[in-house]
Amino acid sequence: MLNRVDLIMPEYMMYLNELEAARGFGEVFSLVKMAVSERLRLHRAGLALVLMDLPPNVLAQHQIGSNAIVVDKKVIDAIDSTSRSRLERNSYVFVILLHEYLHSLGITDEERVRALVLDVVEYTFPGNQTIRAIALNPTIMIADRSITSTQSKTLPLLVRDFDRESMPYIG
């Protein structure tokens, strides 16, 4: 339900406020889906998020034909422990999930996906230099952070309540 503030607040400010307030991957992903739907008129449901150790230089991935986005847990842990604010952390998560969501929509060309990520970010968060910088180069968030590599791999973690539009499996 819209209140008086919503009626006078520019839409991009609502996105920014919701991104800052988001308390988990699912809430950030909802914003990703809204932004993509609004800007590109594309949508899909039924995705899962898996956190696991990935090879160096792989921040996240989506396997063509799968229903999962996989994000490097080591990178998320490093960002969680060193981010200056929830908005900074959520901005990184937004960009990474946006990139992989576009792949899940069937866009396989990496340069095209990067251009679309920047387009959606600039459309959704005009003038926000932090999220724009992350969209241009997501590794900027890990450049000064220590990413600890463990000898023993951690088990993959399925994030609950990620895609709230998920379709139940019908077998």
Q: What is the pLDDT of residue 150?
A: 56
The owner of tokens 């090879």 is 55
Q: What is the pLDDT of residue 166?
A: 60
CA distance 39 to 135: 16
CA distance 124 to 164: 21
Residue 91 lies in a domain: yes
Residue 154 clears pLDDT 80, i.e. is over it: no
CB atoms within 10 A of CB 65: 7
Residue 118 lies in a domain: yes
pLDDT tens per residue, range 4-37: 344 445 676 899 999 999 999 999 999 999 999 9
Residue 164 lies in a domain: no
Residue 83 lies in a domain: yes
Residue 166 lies in a domain: no
> Distance of CA 135 to CAs 53, 82, 111, 112, Å?
22, 19, 12, 13
Residue 171 lies in a domain: no
CA distance 91 to 71: 15
Q: Which domain holds residue 45?
A: 4-159
Between 20 and 140, the higher pLDDT residue: 20
pLDDT tens per residue, range 58-107: 999 999 989 999 999 999 999 998 888 999 999 999 999 999 999 999 99
CA distance 166 to 145: 34
Yes or no: say if 70 and 54 are a contact pair by the CB < 8 Å rule.
Answer: yes
Residue 47 lies in a domain: yes
pLDDT tens per residue, range 105-135: 999 999 999 999 999 999 999 999 999 999 9
**The residue count for the chain:** 171
Instruction: State CA 24 to chain mean position distance.
Output: 11
Considering the entire predicted model, what is its pTM?
Answer: 0.87
Q: What is the pLDDT of residue 155?
A: 87
Residue 170 lies in a domain: no
Domains contained in the chain, number = 1
